[in-house]
Structure 1
Amino acid sequence: MNQLPTKDQIRQWIAENPGQGAKRDIAKAFNIKGAGRIELKRILRELEDEGGVVKTRRTFREAGSLPPVTLLAVLPPDEAGDLFLKPLEWTGEDEPPRILFIAKKGDPALGAGDRILARLAKVDLDDYAYEARLIRQLGSNPARVLGVFRAEAEGGRIVPIDKGADKEWRVGREDTGGAKDGELVEAEHTGPKRLGLPRARITARLGDPMGPRAVSLIAIHQHGIPDQFPDAVVAEADRALPAPLDGREDLRDLPLVTIDPSDARDHDDAVFAEADTDAANPGGHIVWVAIADVAYYVRPGSKLDREARKRGNSTYFPDRVVPMLPDTLSGDLCSLHEGVDRPCIAVRMKLDAGGAKIGHRFVRGLMRSAASLHYGEVQAAVDGRPTERTAPLMERVIAPLYAAYEATKTARAVRQPLELDLPERKIVLSDEGKVLSVDFRDRLDAHKLIEEFMILANVAAAEELTRLKKPLLFRVHEEPSVDKMDALREVAEASGFTLAKGQVLKTAHLNRLLSQAQGTEFDELLNISTLRSMTQAYYHPQNFGHFGLALRSYAHFTSPIRRYSDLIVHRALIAGHAWGDDGLSAGDIEALEETAKQISDAERRSMAAERDTTDRYLAAYLSDRVGAEFAGRISGVQRFGVFVKLDETGADGLIPIRELGREFFHYDQDAQILTGADTGQTIGIGQRVTVRLAEATPVTGGLVLELLTLEGSALAQGHGQKRRGYAPRKPGKFAPRDAKIKRKVERKRR
């Protein structure tokens, strides 16, 4: 037997011969044969344990280096437009080396997130360590999972946090990324799809899933919401300076005020109202709505603009906000803070005595907020409890605002927008992120006042841009489908109410139905059912109207700090009035339909993340009360079970179908009803129930309930055994067939 090489010799040979790291390659290089191969295997194992080499499948390579052919992910282009890559299989303790992509003629265009197989060449440069040349482009979006890592001897597994996930993921020892048992991790699918658990590689460790404020972090990662601004975007925001008065109308003497929630993170709209002194408009009002001029700071095509478009909107959680714009802008230069000069785009609207808008005029101005108020203190002032802050504003500011609002009630009654009455939950957290209480937000006149004035301003913006023949993004809400209306009609009739058929549907017809149910036991049922019958609103360059608000033309104008759609409308107004060079660009116009789809999708993503976060907080809040009884109402019916909304918190829990009794249930999808095959017992939306909380899983947000009573009585029982999924087959019944299948499988394996 030849003398075995030392560890240093083996390590040096592997480093000098990348791509030839298989054990047989090493044995051939050192002329190791026979029993010497067993010793070589032992040396290689020791080198791997010491961290001198890294084993990937059947090959070895120098620790801290990359193989000559490897999988890479494309990073966003840098300021110079160069594409850098990151290795997908990096096991070093330090940061992975920088890899520059060298494109050759005929290579496909690559974008951030694409995955490629590339050949690497090591270079001795300060800026990067490898150059990569494309072998082939791979699928750019591997399946991803967010879950809790459970360590095992050969790696571990990931238990997904998604309530709908029914499979765990297997993680090899080399793919754990150093994750510890019980950590929240993000991983991606690796390898070909085959039978058994999917294999995954951990790409990010996110800490303790039950830690303070981990709930919103889970939603951010699960839904892919960008929560870190690139350095270049932050730098661009930091260079911004306050806007001057030049070219603007001076509105600083107008006592505009902001009215927001007490915990508002930004202020992007301010209002003022006064009686109209025009004799031609007796009893009329003038209402000003001033909106932060974000377009001045976020120019078309800039880094800020590209990032804002990608995000689409700000996303709000009980413990944090993921803003559309960096804090320099969203929390400072664009926010209409009290007593400081801020650029704005404002609309002066003329209302008649009945609250109908009879004229408007847009200006680009400079304003100074007279006060930053919150809804509660404004409402208290109107109700006769003014404070030191609100008392001086009563006569000049607050009273005229409410007078104008009272007038708009008349116009609203004529217009008849959809009047749903669904309480909004408010989750109160401690400083450590623990749920202290779950309340329902008060719906004050102060809220309705701001809402009505914002709607008026949005209508004015849509009408103004239509008049100027400028492209814009409309807020579209199409009328519900015939099928959904038929389903709502069935629910209404089963509850003893009527929704007329065979006429052009108007919101007034739905309001009449809701009015019939108001104050009855079916009040909440009809509100939920009506909401579910609605289509989802979206953005589009064409105007298809807004059914829910009963408006022919509607555009979002009032929140450009937190919605990209509003920024597009602001740019269109700037271009239409020739207010500057920061208006709607040719690129904006060309991409308008694509932008509409992108921000509509981003809005749905944020809504889903916010809803999931609320579910998880509620599950955490109720986890200490497993076994307790709750009153509630059935809010949904599916083939697999019944959803119940609990009265106390508004949380939704599931009663699995197996827990509903000793009989089979027929599912009527259209009527949303389960009917017992033996007893004829019907279970449907809106019925009152008493339930026991069986499970509360904070990491998924899942609540499992047991049904105690339905409409005050115990559930009728059928004649069969209690349903618990599929009944097990009798032993031996299929034994001959199973044995035959087993023999076939064994022959194939051989």
Structure 2
Amino acid sequence: MPRRQARPPGDALAGPRPLPSKEDLRRFIRAAPGKVGKTEISRHFGLTTDQRPALRELLKALKQDGSAMPAGRHGLAAPGRLPEMAVVEIFGTDPDGDPLARPLGWTSAQGEMPLIYMRPERPGQPALAPGERVLARLKPAGRSKYDGTTVKRVAGPAPARILGIYEHGRIIPTDRRHKAEWEVPPGQANGAEPGEIVLAEPLPGQALGLRPARIIERLGRMGEPRSVSLLCIHAHGIPHAFHGDALAEAEAAKAAALEGREDLRAIPLVTIDGEDARDFDDAVWAEPSGGGWRLLVAIADVAHYVRPGSALDRDAWLRGNSVYFPDRVVPMLPEALSNGWCSLRPGEDRGCLFVEFHIDAAGSKTRHRFGRGLMRSAARLTYEAVQAAQDAGEDPTGTLAALYGAYRALLSARDRRGTLDLDLPERRVILDPAGMVLAVEPRARLDAHRLIEEFMVAANVCAAEELERLGQPCMYRVHDRPSDEKLEGLRAFLATFDITLPPGDQLQPRHFAQVLDLVRGAEHERLVNETVLRGQSQAAYAPENIGHFGLALPRYAHFTSPIRRYADLLVHRALIRGLKLGDGGLAEPEADRFADTGEHITGTERRSAAAERDAVDRYLAAHMAHRIGDVFEARISGVTRFGLFVTVDSNGASGIVPLGSLPDDRWLQDLPRRALAGQRTGLRFALGQAVEVRLAEATPHTGGMVFHLMQGLPPLQPRRRPAGGGRSGRH
């Protein structure tokens, strides 16, 4: 902030300095690290005692228009600035496990919620846990950020459930963000044995020492097959048991009849899924037509079996979607449907909803129509087999040549739109029959994957367009453009590589695609891909359409996976009602609840994604636990005030490098360049930098790993290097 020059000696005859403007005062108060008073303001602007009354009136006006807030007895602070002492509530932890807090009683009308990093308490005191409230001394640490120190604890709600590992009278939390252990008093263990995963509930207890808890459920032994996914299911609150009446409805299901349906059984539709796919809900076919292509996408008719208001519907709504773990699936629908009547098995008749659409040679759609049909899959193909056949110039089913021809046309249309296509491989966990980890490796992304993605995107667009034409409610899949705050950080990051983005009102997905093209093949390609991904908004479900920014589409809905996504089932029901295709259409009460349902299934989707990532992290930690002390090639994937995060190149294992493990130095955080710089050693660690790391800790029950950097440290003798080394994502 520009500062006024001090008045030189002998300038007293020049008269009093003019009063600062309101904008001058606003800038000064915003720039101040804490509260300021009239004395600090007068000294800064060179005001005299006679000008104090006028200054008071100016400051009063600032308080009235909300430009400044009272702080302490006589001080002022910028709007949203917290006082030096405040009651805060712990709501979570940062990746290092240190508590994060928010001010009690904060409302959205006060602006952006401040984030408070609570410093560790005195040794011997139990760690702060989510839900606890403390009186904290606060010190500004950047925009809307504070460092907090506990003055004293105050009453706060205890967690309703505790998930952890029981060990000789104690419960060790399985969430690495929660450091506080719990004590199990005599007679409250419910027969639990050391090493078992347990659910417990808090008991009234003392203020000092470990808090007491009672074990209410034993879930199995840590380390047994399927224990990781079981732990993640409970940790994330994923419903996993169907109600009896829902199971009964599923068992009573029968084959769909041809009556009222279009007979598609003569068309050689095929399913293409991963080798480890457990359900098949979409089938595809194409043929040349009038210089372009005729395509057919057929989807399992889940709406025929899951009717609005039924027990099956209630359970499906509650789940929102299926959840996929390396060793099991928690399905949205019971197995009698998900792997039975709603799975498009080869050679078996299945009810379906289909969309037939025509595209020209450039991939632009010319027309489409929807219908309800009866189909028979000609083959169950895998991505790997399809890719191998294509690479060898073979076509064992007689359908691949046309499918790839239509795919290339759709791809050209996608390229013209300029969509955002991030190349970030998924991790695939390979287990042996006993459930132990054999390997964790990147899942290959093949042209066969992209083929199915393009067919599904085109079908989804048709569904959104058709529902708008029919005037029916639509559960859109929406994706907003990046927020101004994220764009600000992304621009600063890209500037370090001399890359710029257009102004926000001109920004299009193609501009991000151009950024990715610029770095393709460069050392920092993966880093830029990951940073661009983090800079995007999250996709969501909503009945109000704002378009899909990433796909560069003005309207988009999910139609192609009603076995595993409730949103798709709603789209099917709306199409059935609008096109008068028979029973199972959208009911008016559920149409009225679309806004609430959109929020609900957006939440269940994010819950499932977190649980799936959590499971992979825990499997990785178990896999790496046998390699403590090994040295790995890695890249810095995060830079924070408390250390670095690194990701191992060979398998994607991630962990923290604590600040305390770095060479002794004063480490400064360079926010624009996402780096830590040592003042004395000259060492610098930046996001995306290639590093060698030694694994120091791996904790399977939390998924946490701790690494130490080799740079700047004496080499180990001998140094050991490792050998090199969920399903395809759909929009």
With structure 2 as the length reference, what TM-score do the two structures score? 0.75
SS at match of 2:693: strand
Work out the CA distance in 2 between the residues paired with 1:555 and 1:163. Answer: 36
Unmatched segments (≥5 aa) in structure 1: 1-138, 278-282, 717-750
SS of structure 2 residue aligned to 1:298: coil
Q: Deviations over 1:678-714 (max 9, x none)?
A: 44543221111111011111111111001102xxx66
| Counterpart for residue 629 of structure 1 | 631
Distance 2:247 2:671 in 1: 50
RMSD between aligned residues: 1.8
Alignment partner of 1:312 is 2:312? no
- Please state how far the C-alpha of 1:677 moved relative to its aligned partner: 4.0
Q: Which residue of 2 is the match for residue 433 of structure 1?
A: 435
- 2:175 equivalent to 1:147: no
Cα gap change, 1:522 to 1:471, in 2 (>3 Å): same
Show the counterpart of 1:170: 183
1:179 aligned partner = 192
* Residue-by-residue CA offset, 1:442-496 (whole Å, 9 max, x unaligned): 2111110000000000000001001111012101111111221121122222134
Cα distance in structure 2, aligned partners of 1:670 and 1:173: 54
Quick one: distance in 2 between partners of 1:670 and 1:297? 54
Shift of 1:670: 5.4
Aligned residue among 325, 340, 347 for 1:339:
347
Equivalent-residue separation in structure 2 for 1:543 and 1:140 (angstroms): 39
Tell me if structure 1 keeps the 8 A contact 2:428–2:442: yes
Aligned residue number for residue 417 of structure 2: 415
SS in structure 1 at match of 2:624: helix
| 1:198 to partner: Cα distance | 2.5
Shift in alpha-carbon separation, 1:385–1:357, aligned structure 2, 3 A: closer
Instruction: Give the residue type in structure 2 aligned to 1:318.
Output: P
- Cα distance in 1 for residues equivalent to 2:300 and 2:208: 56
SS in 2 for 1:606: helix
Counterpart Cα distance in 2 of 1:290 and 1:480: 34
| Partner residue in 2 for 1:259 | 272
On the 8 A contact 1:661/1:715 being kept in 2, the answer is: no
The amino acid that maps onto 1:379 is Q
Amino acid at match of 1:598: H
What is residue 289 of structure 2 aligned with on the other side? 276
State whether structure 2 residue 220 is matched by structure 1 residue 207: yes
Q: Is the 8 A contact 2:304 2:583 kept in 1?
A: no
Structure 1 SS opposite 2:506 = coil
Does 1:494 find its partner at 2:503?
Answer: no
**For residue 229 of structure 1, what is the amino acid of its counterpart?**
F
- Assess, with a 3 A threshold, how the Cα gap between structure 1 residues 542 and 194 changes in structure 2: closer, same or farther: farther
Structure 2 counterparts to residues 476-625 of structure 1, below 5 A: 476-501=478-503, 504-625=506-627
Rounded Cα–Cα distance in structure 1 between residues aligned with 2:384 and 2:462: 28
User: 2:484, 2:504 within 8 Å by CA — same for their partners in 1?
Assistant: no
Corresponding residue number in structure 2 for 1:747: none
Q: Does 1:219 align with 2:232?
A: yes
- Residue type of the partner of 1:518? R
Residue of structure 2 equivalent to 1:667: 669
Q: Are the counterparts in 1 of residues 493 and 672 from structure 2 also a CA contact under 8 Å?
A: no
Match runs of 1:62-461 below 5 Å: 142-151=159-168, 156-191=169-204, 194-277=207-290, 283-384=291-392, 386=394, 391=396, 393-394=397-398, 397-461=399-463
Aligned partners of 1:183 and 1:630: how far apart in 2? 32
Distance 2:533 2:221 in 1: 37
* Corresponding residue SS for 1:173: coil
Give the residue type in structure 2 aligned to 1:682: R
Q: Which amino acid aligns with 1:329?
A: L
- After superposition, the C-alpha distances for 1:148-177 in whole angstroms (9 at most, x for unaligned) are 1122xxxx1100011111100122223211
Is contact 1:667-1:674 (8 Å) kept? Answer: yes
Distance in 2 between the 1:140 and 1:457 partners? 48
Q: Secondary structure at the match of 2:245?
A: helix
C-alpha separation in 2, matches of 1:157 and 1:541: 48
Structure 2: distance between partners of 1:285 and 1:366: 22
Find the structure with the greater CA-based Rg.
1
Give SS of 1:175's match.
coil
**Separation in structure 2 between the aligned mates of residue 385 and residue 218 of structure 1, nearest angstrom:** 46
| Separation of aligned partners in 1, 2:580 and 2:207 | 61
Determine if contact 2:636/2:688 at 8 Å carries over to the other structure: yes
Q: Which residue of 2 is the match for residue 649 of structure 1?
A: 651
Runs of 4+ in 1 over 6 A off after TM superposition: none
Distance 1:276 1:556 in 2: 26
Once the 2 structures are TM-superposed, how far is the Cα of residue 190 of structure 1 from its aligned partner?
2.6
CA distance 1:189–1:672, change in 2 (3 Å): farther
Tell me if the contact between 2:182 and 2:212 (Cα under 8 Å) persists in the aligned partners.
yes
Q: Describe the SS at the equivalent of 1:210.
A: coil
CA change 1:413–1:467 in 2 (3 A) is same
Shift of 1:141: 9.4
Count of aligned residue pairs for this structure pair: 560
Which of 463, 466, 479 is the aligned partner of 2:465? Answer: 463
Give 1:196 shift: 3.5
User: Secondary structure of the equivalent of 1:273?
Assistant: strand
Q: Secondary structure, in 3 states, of the residue corresponding to 2:400? A: helix
1:613 partner letter: A
Aligned in 2, Cα 1:141/1:167: closer, same or farther, shift over 3 Å?
closer
Q: Deviations over 1:165-218 (max 9, x none)?
A: 110012222321111122111112232684432322212111211112211111
Amino acid at match of 1:150: E
Q: What TM-score do you get using the length of structure 1 for normalisation?
A: 0.73
More divergent stretch after superposition (568-577 vs 420-429): 420-429
The alpha-carbon deviation at position 667 of structure 1 amounts to: 3.0
Shift of 1:581: 3.1
Find the aligned partners of 2:194 and 2:592 in 1 and give their Cα distance.
50
| Residue from 686, 692, 698 that aligns with 1:690 | 692
Q: Is the 8 A contact 1:641 1:657 kept in 2?
A: yes
CA distance in 1, matches of 2:238, 2:189: 24
| Distance in 1 (alpha carbons) for counterparts of 2:646 and 2:159 | 35
1:166 partner SS: coil
For 1:141 and 1:509, the matched residues in 2 are separated by 48
Distance 1:140 1:233 in 2: 35
**Could you report, residue by residue, the CA deviation over 1:576-623 in whole angstroms, capped at 9, with x for unpaired residues?**
011123111012112111111111111111111100100011111111
